A and B are shown apart, each in its own frame.
Chain A
């Protein structure tokens, strides 16, 4: 029986670009180049490794986002995923974490799954809560923040490196997992992979397909509201000295002046 893996991938504004907000205080996605969230590359990589270790498995990559988000799917497909699902609908603009988890959960149920793989956090929202929200909505175990993961005989095991302890975890499938950037470098798409990705199927779904009402998502339906967004004032230029033997003394003088010593 085939192992059905769904990887959730997010299309995010490039962190090295000049990210900002639009007038309605949602993320401005038009003015900045987008890409597959780098942390989701680790999720795709682990899904590929799980597939390689399984007898028979199929990987679907799933994204919720505007038209351009198909770029994130293509990247994941060129790394080796088998097919894509793109949930796209104008009414999704401004959806928050609870809304996103609702849409993802419905799309995952529609696609069918044994294992859902997520990144540890997106590089824009950086909340790190989506996997837990999904597990709660789907009513399956969450095995999150894994630096090591394997799937065998319908059981997922992994290591979670927490603040105070490192834990070995275990759950039966179906389950939602998330993997950290410690789980292993993601592979680069090969030229062959990039060419193959162009032919891989991508299914497009809208809210109607998922039986979600427009007012359950989007800016109006959001459970949270952003009232203000202000650019942080640039730090006033500090003092920079060149060390010509006195650097440590000068720095100590500064630290003493600030009462740190």
Chain B
């Protein structure tokens, strides 16, 4: 059976959920071979093996952390040369897309980004994309070379599938030309203890209606009662009420949770672009005419400062 390369997104060997989703999708088109760059490959290999990776190609080099993107492309290319895969899958993060793009140029292949589903087809893997702020669904494929496809988080439910997950060292030479962009310093983001926005099953977002940083705890309290991540509209972010990393939308994160709750958000096209594929959508807005109500499964026309705290109490009571 054809091998499929899966680029592993991890933090020091802790594999992030989107990679497990990639392994699940990869099994539809071949045998997943994971590529782990950086430390703790053995630890990662356990999880990768449990999710179907027949092999883990591992490489660690200081250049991966010292320079931007290009050294990782050298490594992925080495894996590509070693395996001759039927496809290369990467997560649709900024970095995943850039690594995929540069690999595509090098191997003379097409690239599809932001796939939300993947299946085997007569002429190679067929990717589903959700485009134009999720108003259209397309099916595309790579017609030249080995398909390079990046996949959005939450595109598949990770399935367990025991496989060998044998770690093999991958020899990588980082080219001098790949050392062009130095990473001078790195400030890790502080963890809030809440689920990661793009991976969360429930997201509660606040917008301009929240009216001040001092009021965001109202949104956070609801999120915490539901075990949800907190999002924000660009208006709230631009006003400095919440960090940019929590922005949902075209230029923020794109989320696709089971439940999305928008409080004090009007529903501009650029916001919708990032949340329209959520399974269930709920809005709380005092303006009955707000466009967000066109999308909702359930909407409450009312003041968020009345509805949200009361809902938080209801959730706590019901959860006991």
Cβ–Cβ < 8 Å partners of B308 in chain A: 248
Chain A residues with CB under 8 Å of B180's CB are: 140-142, 171-172, 175
Q: Does B126 touch A at the CB level, under 8 Å?
A: yes
Residue in B closest to A27 when the chains form the complex, CB atoms? B132
* Across-interface contacts of A169 in B (CB, < 8 A): 68, 181-184
The interface stretch among B38-46, B109-117, B160-168 is B109-117
List the B side residues contacting A148 at CB < 8 Å.
none
CB proximity to B under 8 Å, residues A104-162:
120-121, 123-124, 126-129, 131-133, 135-137, 139-145, 147, 157, 160-162
A128 to B297 Cα, complex, angstroms: 31
**B217 in contact (CB, < 8 A):** no
Q: Which residue in chain B gives the minimum CB-CB distance to A156?
A: B181
- Nearest residue, chain B, Cβ from A226: B140
Residues in B neighbouring A132, C-beta threshold 8 A = 69, 97-98, 101-102
User: B141 contacts which chain A residues (CB < 8 A)?
Assistant: 224-225, 227
Cα distance, A176 to B43, chains bound together (Å): 36
Cβ contact within 8 Å between B137 and A230: yes
Contact A223-B314, Cβ < 8 Å, known A166-B187, A239-B298, A247-B306: no
> Do the beta carbons of B300 and A251 come within 8 Å of each other?
yes
The total of chain A residues at the interface (CB under 8 A) is 81
- A98 touches B (CB below 8 Å): yes
A1 at the interface (CB under 8 A from B): no
Q: Which of B115-160 contact A (CB under 8 A)?
A: 126, 130-145
Partner of B101, one of A25, A133, A238: A133
Contacts of B258 in A (CB 8 A): 260
Min distance, Cβ B203 to any Cβ of chain A, angstroms:
12
Check if A238 sits within 8 Å of B297, measured CB to CB: yes
Whether B318 contacts A143 by the Cβ 8 Å rule is no
Report Cα–Cα, A242/B299, bound state, in Å.
Answer: 8
For A243, list chain B residues within 8 Å (CB): 300-303, 306-307
- Is the Cβ of B101 less than 8 Å from the Cβ of A136? yes
Check B186–A224 contact: CB distance below 8 A.
Answer: no
Q: Are B296 and A238 in contact (CB under 8 A)?
A: yes
Identify the stretch in A3-11, A16-24, A46-54, A193-201 within 8 Å (CB) of chain B at 4 or more residues: A16-24
Contact stretch, chosen from B26-34, B50-58, B205-213, B244-252: B244-252
Do the beta carbons of A143 and B68 come within 8 Å of each other? yes
Query: Roughly how many angstroms separate A123 CA and B273 CA in the complex, as a whole number?
Result: 10
CA distance A2 to B111 in the complex (A): 36
The answer to whether B100 and A129 have CB atoms under 8 Å apart is yes
Contact between B135 and A231 (Cβ–Cβ < 8 Å)? yes
What is the chain B residue whose CB lies nearest that of A239?
Answer: B298
In the complex, B218 has a CB within 8 A of chain A? no
| In contact, A232 and B318 (Cβ under 8 angstroms) | no
A98 touching B110, Cβ below 8 Å = yes
Contacts of B297 in A (CB 8 A): 235, 238-239, 254
Contact, CB under 8 Å: A260 / B186: no
Is B251 a contact partner of A164 (Cβ separation < 8 A)? no
B97 close to A135 (CB less than 8 A): no
B83 at interface (Cβ–Cβ under 8 A)?
no
Report if A165-B306 is in contact (Cβ < 8 Å); known contacts: A227-B126, A247-B300, A254-B298.
no
CB of B105 within 8 A of CB of A136, answer yes
The chain B residue with its CB closest to the CB of A182 is: B244
CB under 8 Å from chain B, chain A span 27-56: 39
**A142 to B69, Cβ gap below 8 A?**
yes
Confirm or deny: B70 has a beta carbon within 8 angstroms of a beta carbon on chain A.
yes
* Alpha-carbon separation in the docked complex, A133 to B144 (Å): 16
Interfacial chain A residues near B300, Cβ < 8 Å: 240-243, 247-248, 250-251
| B-side contacts of A248, CB under 8 Å | 300, 306-308, 310-311, 313-314
**Interface residue? B11 (CB, 8 A):** yes
The answer to whether A170 and B315 have CB atoms under 8 Å apart is: no
Whether A139 contacts B177 in the complex (CB less than 8 A), given A127-B113, A248-B311, comes out as yes
Contact A19 B132 (CB under 8 A): yes
Note all chain A residues with C-beta closer than 8 A to B137.
229-230, 232
A242 & B301 in contact (Cβ 8 Å cutoff):
yes
Query: Is there a chain A Cβ closer than 8 Å to B241's Cβ?
Result: no
Residues of A within 8 A of B69 (CB): 132, 142, 144
Q: Quick check: is A192 within 8 A (CB to CB) of the other chain? A: no
Residue of B nearest to A172 (CB): B180
> Lowest 3 CB-CB distances: which A-B pairs, in order?
A243-B302, A223-B110, A141-B180
List 20 interface pairs A-B (beta carbons < 8 Å), by A numbering. A19-B136, A126-B273, A133-B105, A136-B105, A140-B180, A162-B94, A163-B94, A169-B181, A169-B183, A222-B144, A227-B139, A229-B137, A230-B138, A240-B300, A247-B306, A248-B308, A248-B314, A251-B300, A258-B259, A260-B202
Given A164-B188, A247-B307; 14 other pairs, CB 8 A cutoff: A15-B132, A16-B269, A144-B69, A169-B68, A172-B180, A175-B181, A224-B112, A230-B136, A240-B293, A240-B298, A243-B303, A247-B302, A251-B284, A254-B297
